[in-house]
Amino acid sequence: KRHPIEYNIKLGATKSGAIKSLQVDSLSDAGAYINMSPPVAYKTVTLGPGPYRVDNLYWRGKSVLTNNCHTGSFRGFSTPQSGFAIENTMDILADKLGMTPTEFRRKNLLRNGDTSPVGHVLDFHEVSILSVMEKAAEELDFDRKFAKFKAENQDRKRRIRRGVGIAVTMRGNSVGADGNGHDVSRILIEVMPDASIHANIGLVEIGQGLRTCQMQMVAEGMGVDVKRVTMGETDTSRSPATGACIASRGTLLGGGAIADACKNIHEILIEGLRKTYGKDLDSVNFENDRVLFGGHDLSFKEVVDICYAANLTPMAAGTYSIPILNWDEEKGHGDPFYTYTYSCHAAEVEVDLDVGTVDVIKMVGSHDMGRAINPLMVDGQIYGGMAMAQGMALTEDLGHNTETSALKNLNFDGYLLPTILDVPDTNVPVLDENVDPRAAFGGGSIGEPSLEPGVAAVACAVNMALGKPGMITELPYSLDRVYAAAQELWGDDDVEIS
């Protein structure tokens, strides 16, 4: 299960709304075993501050062993929890300054060349978080609805209220500096005599579309039609060690290994051409299932035939590793990750003050993961991430007993997941693509980012409907918690029922 994390946050800004300081103490419950708590704590500290300009940051993250339920790896590795805490705090401060959530964020989001809160100079790719947020806000019509709902919700007789929320995050692609020098991927690619291409990679398909994405990159790297490419099932007997399917690393790491293997195979194929056409070949281009060089235009199959006729074997391994990151472990300062995905979710909800129910009306998931290798599958990830965020925000609860450490909800009759009846069909994924020069094929991560800001967006929307930013400070926003908050703020309905 996810780590329960408590946050003590102090956030300071000028009267004009420029963030100057952020101080956070986070305490996560590891349960009875350490397991993944150290890397979870690392990501809590390095990604928790979000994509903001923060002149002065102090974040102390601790994880403690308890007699509670064992915790481990879960999509996001603490960033959904941190986003929930930080984004609600941002709304509280924006409200104190008389600014809307988007006004406050526009003033403080990172731009090209800025330094991240933990000291990473972002001068190597497009820092698109402002554009990502604007696209989400536009799709939800956030600014107009925020003003409209805020005015409507002043009426104490209005018992069913609307609210909108918006949240931003930035996600490091790959394991990061806590695995400095050890984040590596490998692939083995073989071109068969019939010019089909078979690949074996150690990354695992768990429903995220990894195999399709990797095959597309193999086809692009080889310059052939994707129909030529097959990929073996991941098996340690024939797949080179590539590391775990974690840390939003598959596209970035796999793509790097694929590019290396394709380059190596091209050199073998070119050696076959030299044996036939002579040593002095002009540049050789592999594209659109054709091979172009020195006025010649051959099919890929013809070039493969030439290679095999020359007794060469067009097979190669590819290896890629994340460069050593400049990270000061003692100071917690520097480059915690190699590159980032920028994300924003916006949500509209309807809250019934007299019952405590929350209906999600619409969510928007806007992301820049670099180039989308397969846009349809990226959309699918975002739809799934928004649904998962809705569940984490509103219904999913293990029912932990603080006195006995027992769990009440051990099955899905008590641990409530959102169903097709709960998730709105009006949800919209938005892609704000900027090719990442640090990725071999221009694309990075979407697996975890597609979830991360959604929890905070729904929570901020509920608090806006209740009329007080940051009103509820604990997940999930269950019927009981929402009802209690509504009672505290607005009391009972004074309409007589006959």
* Together in a domain, 355 and 289: no
d(C-alpha 218, C-alpha 171), whole Å: 25
Q: What is the pTM of this model?
A: 0.95
Q: Of 321, 344, 370, which closes a domain?
A: 321
Q: Are residues 366 and 461 in the same domain?
A: yes
Residues 142 and 36 occupy one common structural domain? yes
Nearest-5° Cα angle at 84, 127 to 373: 40
Would residue 168 count as lying in a domain? Answer: yes
Give the pLDDT score at 33. Answer: 93
Is the alpha carbon torsion for 231, 234, 237, 241 positive or negative? positive
CA distance 209 to 384: 13
In the beta sheet, which residues pair with residue 346? 166, 364
Gap between the Cα atoms of 207 and 330, Å rounded: 38
Q: 183: which DSSP letter?
A: -
Residues 311, 209, single domain; the answer is: yes
| Per-residue pLDDT, 498 | 40
Same-domain status, 379 and 435: yes
CATH number at residue 256: 3.30.365.10
Its sign, for the CA torsion 152, 156, 157, 162, is: positive
- 233 and 147, same domain (yes or no): no
Q: Edge-to-edge, what's the strand order for the sheet holding 358-368?
A: 160-173, 339-352, 358-368, 428-431
Confirm whether 216 is domain-assigned: yes
Which residues are 443's β-sheet partners? 370
3-state SS of the chain: helix, strand, coil percent to 5? 35, 25, 45
User: Considering the domain boundaries, does residue 195 fall inside one?
Assistant: yes
**Total domains, the chain:** 2
241 and 135 in a single domain? The answer is no
Which residue is listed with tokens 């007589």?
Answer: 496
Q: Which helix (H) or strand (E) holds 8?
A: strand 5-13
46 and 109 fall within a common domain: yes
Sign of CA dihedral 490, 491, 496, 498: positive
Query: Domain range holding 443?
Result: 5-177+328-490
Question: Which domain-ending residue is among 306, 321, 336?
Answer: 321
Tell me what pLDDT residue 494 has: 58
Partners of 285 in beta bridges: 292
pLDDT along the chain (498 residues), means of 10: 94 98 97 92 95 97 93 90 98 98 98 98 98 98 98 95 98 90 94 98 87 96 98 88 82 96 98 91 94 94 98 97 94 95 98 97 98 96 97 95 89 94 97 97 94 98 98 97 96 60
Give yes or no for a contact between 11 and 90, defined as CB atoms under 8 angstroms apart: yes
- 496 inside domain: no
414 and 392 housed in the same domain? yes
